[in-house]
Structure 1
Amino acid sequence: MITVENLTKRYGDHIAVDDVSFACKPGQVTGFLGPNGAGKSTTMRIIAGLTPASSGTATVGGTAFRDIPNPATQVGVLLDASAQHAGRTGAEILRLSAMTLGIPKSRVAEMLEMVSLTPDEADRRVRNYSLGMRQRLGIANALLGDPHILILDEPANGLDPAGIHWMRTLLRDYANRGGTVLLSSHLLHEIEIIADEILVIGHGRIVAEGTKDELLAGNGARVRSLDDTALAAALSRADIHARPADGGGLTADAAPEDVGRVAAASGIVLVELRPGDGAQLEEMFLQLTQQTQREQPVLQGAQP
């Protein structure tokens, strides 16, 4: 379990992480979302013992990372796939890690197979790796010590669609076996698919958290009536914004019960009224962080 309590990090007058608290539970993948500069990486570096906090605490399994004996056997960390010795081969990097951890070298071959790096690729120097190959090597290194907690910062960067599917399956299986996963990404669609719990951070503060269903609950209503034009006008008079929905009807920025009250008061017969469960996490994310992000997040499949 990862526990973060009232975590704050200041760099002079700049507050990179501002009183952040959350918990990542065993058996779950926790997705950490936010625009660039929101504080995701700084928070993860503090958890991994690489950056000191200005105040607050971050513990892994109830212990500060720096106090864990042989921590890589307890916590697997991948914060920067490019931060690997470019002059060594992938296999050499894993063998050195195995020696440091005091685990059998046979584990190296198991990890290379798990992340689908071929013998030829394993014997290639890392300077000749693509970003996707470096991500696979970094994940292999994080899993080498058979930890029960994973902390991964943007692990899908550089992976092709097949690689992203592979990573998603790997992490899902890991969590299903009782592992704890903290996964940061700006590929919002991937987080929506894989995460059990979602944290949204903007300007160093947690602006939303919960399951996908919880975050999308109350995110508007889908409504159809015998006279949608009259219903739209009635909702507008009640200061409820409504817009045409795909397939007919309206999507309203209000809870279903509020839409129903307006329709009843206006004598408009409804034929459908339900939560706006068609809303996407991307839309919710943009709404929550529109005042804090400095640039648009990269959405999967977006054109440059």
Structure 2
Amino acid sequence: MIEIENLTKRYGTQTAVDAVSFRCETGTVTGFLGPNGAGKSTTMRILCGLTSASSGTALIDGSPYRALPNPGRSVGVLLDASAQHAGRTGREVLTLGTMVLGLPRERVTQMLELVGLDKKAADKRVGNYSLGMRQRLGLAHALLGNPSTLVLDEPANGLDPEGIFWMRGLLREYADRGGTVLLSSHLLHEVEAVADRLVVIGNGRIAANGSKEELLAGAGTLVRAVEPNQLAQALQGSGHNVTPTADGALLVDAEPLQVGRAAAATGTVLTELRTADGAGLEALFLQLTASANAAAPAGAINPTNTPMEAVR
């Protein structure tokens, strides 16, 4: 289980993470979502003992990562697939891991087979790996100690569709066997397919936290209009958040009846008006992060005001 309580991280006067709290229950996959600069990676780095918090706690099975006696046997971590020794082979990377964790060498072959790296790939230097191969090796390393918890930041980067499908099944099976997964990814459809719970962060603050079903059930109204700008202005003037989608529609945090009345009052012709339940995670993400950006506190770090590369 992962427990994060009132976690805050400041860099001087800038706040990267602001009183963040959420839990990842045993046997579940939690999707951790937010735009670049929202505080996802900072939160995960604090959780894994790589960055110190300004205040608050981040616990894994009741303890800070640094207090775990042999962390690799409890927590599998993949935060940056490119942070691997380019001069070693994949097999050597995993062999060194077994030595550090006190595991039998047979575990190396098992993990290589699990992630689909054949003998030729295993004996190739990591510097010659594609990004997808690095991701597979990183997952193998994270799973090496048979941990009860996985913390993964963008593990699908560089994977082809077949690889993404494979990873989804791997994580689902891991959680179903009693593992805990915290998964950060910009591939919203993949997160929607595998996650049990969703945590959305924007400008360092939690914008939403709950089960996938309950969050997607309240995704607002999707509307298309001949003159969308006119309708958007009317809705915003009434205090509603309006978020344009990639395909030209508007996502509104209001009931369809309210949106229809606003359109009638402004004489706007609508071509589509429906609840956004079917719009899925992308619509929810746009709505929540837009609201979080609008409510950002002074001094919060955002994508255009980032003091260090580690903040995402």
Report if the CA contact (8 A) 1:218-1:255 is conserved: no
Q: Which residue in the other structure is 1:285 paired with? A: 285
Report if the CA contact (8 A) 2:256-2:274 is conserved: yes
Q: Does 2:165 align with 1:165?
A: yes
Residues 158-200 of structure 1 deviation map (CA, whole Å, 9 limit, x = unaligned): 1000000010000000000000000001111111111100011
Residues 48-105 of structure 1 deviation map (CA, whole Å, 9 limit, x = unaligned): 0110000000110001111101110011001100000000000000001001111100
3-state DSSP class of the match of 1:86?
coil
Q: Which residue in the other structure is 1:245 paired with? A: none
Q: Which residue in the other structure is 1:201 paired with? A: 201
Q: Does 2:65 align with 1:53?
A: no
Q: Which residue in the other structure is 1:190 paired with? A: 190
Report if the CA contact (8 A) 1:218-1:254 is conserved: no
The amino acid across from 2:142 in the alignment is A
Report if the CA contact (8 A) 2:241-2:287 is conserved: no
How big is the shift at 1:276? 3.9
Q: Which residue in the other structure is 1:100 paired with? A: 100
- Gaps in structure 1 of 5+ consecutive residues: 224-231, 243-250, 263-272, 296-304
CA 1:98 to 1:11, structure 2 compared with 1: closer, same or farther past 3 Å? Answer: same
Between the aligned residues of both structures, percent identity stands at: 66
1:1-304 alignment runs, 5 A limit? 1-220=1-220, 254-255=254-255, 276-290=276-290, 291=293, 294=303
Aligned mates of 1:201, 1:85 — CA distance in 2: 32
Higher Cα radius of gyration: 1
**Paired residues, what number?**
267
Report if the CA contact (8 A) 2:253-2:287 is conserved: no
How big is the shift at 1:287? 1.8
The amino acid across from 1:195 in the alignment is A
Aligned mates of 1:95, 1:101 — CA distance in 2: 10
Aligned mates of 1:2, 1:23 — CA distance in 2: 6
Aligned mates of 1:129, 1:276 — CA distance in 2: 41
Aligned mates of 2:136, 2:122 — CA distance in 1: 11
CA 1:241 to 1:125, structure 2 compared with 1: closer, same or farther past 3 Å? Answer: closer
Alignment RMSD, CA only?
2.8
- Gaps in structure 2 of 5+ consecutive residues: 224-230, 243-250, 263-272, 297-301, 305-312
